[in-house]
């Protein structure tokens, strides 16, 4: 089972129990807190069930995850250089990330479809023949 969710402009494939890094959120950074992803784009169940695709999101589908830690990503060096001008600039950057463990993937269950029975049609009433006029 897996779900594809949208988070901070990126699409992430989540499977139950997976540990991965996502962009930092300011309000949900405490260790042990839970995050709910409600922008689910696609959902695939176990077995031969077909994947459910949203337009653009699936209604009622959510994925919950537990925050494990706040970490820093790999260092990225940004270098600017212009030859023969004595112009050199180097700036480093480390993105702050949240390490999460994916928990439950839930989908809204559809109510069983009610079978529509055709309404019984009444036979049209026979019109009485007009009385014959005598001449």
Does residue 34 belong to any structural domain of this protein?
Answer: yes
8: confidence class by pLDDT, cuts 50, 70, 90:
confident
Q: What is the pLDDT of residue 52?
A: 87
Kindly list the distances between the CA atom of residue 14 and the CA atoms of 63, 77, 87, 109, in Å, as whole numbers in the listed order: 8, 30, 45, 20
CA dist., res. 29 & res. 33, Å (int):
7
Does residue 135 belong to any structural domain of this protein?
Answer: no
Does residue 19 belong to any structural domain of this protein?
Answer: yes
68: confidence class by pLDDT, cuts 50, 70, 90:
very high
Q: What is the pLDDT of residue 85?
A: 96
Q: What is the pLDDT of residue 10?
A: 92
Average pLDDT over residues 96-122: 77
Does residue 67 belong to any structural domain of this protein?
Answer: yes
Average pLDDT over residues 73-81: 96
pLDDT per position as a tens digit, 21-63 = 999 988 777 888 899 999 999 998 888 888 888 888 989 899 9
Does residue 124 belong to any structural domain of this protein?
Answer: no
pTM, full prediction:
0.68
Total count of domains within the chain: 1
Average pLDDT over residues 106-123: 68
- Domain of 66, in residue numbers: 2-106
Q: What is the pLDDT of residue 107?
A: 84
Does residue 126 belong to any structural domain of this protein?
Answer: no
Instruction: For residue 108, say if its preceding peptide bond is cis, omega within 30 degrees of 0.
Output: no
CA dist., res. 44 & res. 27, Å (int):
30
């Amino acid at each position: 089972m897996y779900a594809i969710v949208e988070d901070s402009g990126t699409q992430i494939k989540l499977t139950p129990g997976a540990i991965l890094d996502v962009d930092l959120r300011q309000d949900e950074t405490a260790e042990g807190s839970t995050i709910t992803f409600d922008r689910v784009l696609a959902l695939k169940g176990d077995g031969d069930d077909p994947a459910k695709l949203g337009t653009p999101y699936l209604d009622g589908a959510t994925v919950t995850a537990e925050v494990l830690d706040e970490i820093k990503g790999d260092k990225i060096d940004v270098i600017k250089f212009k030859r023969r001008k004595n112009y050199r600039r180097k700036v480093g950057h480390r993105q702050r990330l949240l390490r999460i463990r994916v928990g439950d993937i839930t989908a809204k269950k559809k109510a069983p479809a009610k079978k529509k029975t055709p309404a019984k049609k009444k036979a049209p009433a026979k019109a009485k023949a007009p009385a014959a006029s005598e001449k």
